[in-house]
Copies of this chain bind each other. A is one copy, B any other.
């Protein structure tokens, strides 16, 4: 059966802050496939938003020029480090369904773990690198997984990882949530919304940081004709 790429994000801003420092963009790869770019700019508010927009702009531009993901991450770091001299940091995650190599590639300069689901089995890939912008020659960690039905990868920013910490709710085990809800979810958007909802609930409805989650699922389909769709819903304050 042919495969379907199902990519979704859900995000919200810190309570009482009009702008989120977490930016997510989805783009088509010139060599075939799709990529999601997620950036969490240091701090919150307007400065963090401007930083994360600037870094996603650079990452998206390079990806759309056909530059390989690991080089994009290094270039975003080098440029930030060159202009801001190690004083400003950001996390950068790139999740790609690459149809040329038939792999899902996850390229990360993150502070949060990556969750991988393979036919219902949930595993956590701990984070080994830090954010971009702070030190010379920062490199990303890269995970490559064969593109096949039943694969799901989930990445999220710090605001979700630490949700509930202030209210002493204990560490938020996102992988356990995914294990619990995955059989109830029909799409990546369902999974992303469920994770965001639980994060917001752990912060008592007032997120103590910007929050973003990206979910990529590879499944089978039998649709004909092949209709591709993208949709975006942006409620304004």
Interface residues of A (CB under 8 A from B): 2-13, 15, 20, 23-28, 30, 34, 50, 53-54, 56-57, 60-61, 64-65, 97, 99, 187-189, 192-193, 196, 200, 205, 207, 221, 223, 225-237
**Inter-subunit contact A99/B230 (CB<8 Å):** no
Interface centre among A24, A54, A60, A232 (most CB of B within 10 A): A232
Given contacts A26-B26, A234-B4, contact A227 B34 (CB under 8 A): no
What are 19 A-to-B residue pairs whose CB atoms are below 8 Å? A8-B229, A8-B230, A10-B228, A10-B229, A12-B225, A12-B228, A13-B225, A26-B26, A34-B232, A57-B61, A97-B234, A99-B236, A189-B231, A193-B227, A196-B227, A205-B225, A207-B225, A226-B236, A230-B233
Task: Give Cα A23 to B32, complex, Å.
Answer: 12
Q: Knowing that A5-B233, A8-B232, A228-B234 are A-B contacts, what are 12 other residue pairs whose CB atoms are under 8 Å apart, sorted by A's residue number?
A: A2-B235, A3-B236, A6-B232, A7-B232, A8-B230, A9-B231, A13-B225, A25-B28, A27-B27, A30-B53, A56-B64, A223-B235
Complex interface: chain B residues within 8 A of A231 (CB): 6-9, 187-189, 230-231
Task: Give Cα A196 to B226, complex, Å.
Answer: 11
Complex interface: chain B residues within 8 A of A3 (CB): 235-236
Given contacts A2-B237, A25-B27, contact A200 B228 (CB under 8 A): no
A143 to chain B: closest CB distance in Å? Answer: 21
A76 to chain B: closest CB distance in Å? Answer: 13
**Inter-subunit contact B57/A234 (CB<8 Å):** no
Complex interface: chain B residues within 8 A of A8 (CB): 229-232
Given contacts A12-B228, A207-B225, contact A234 B34 (CB under 8 A): yes
Complex interface: chain B residues within 8 A of A200 (CB): 225
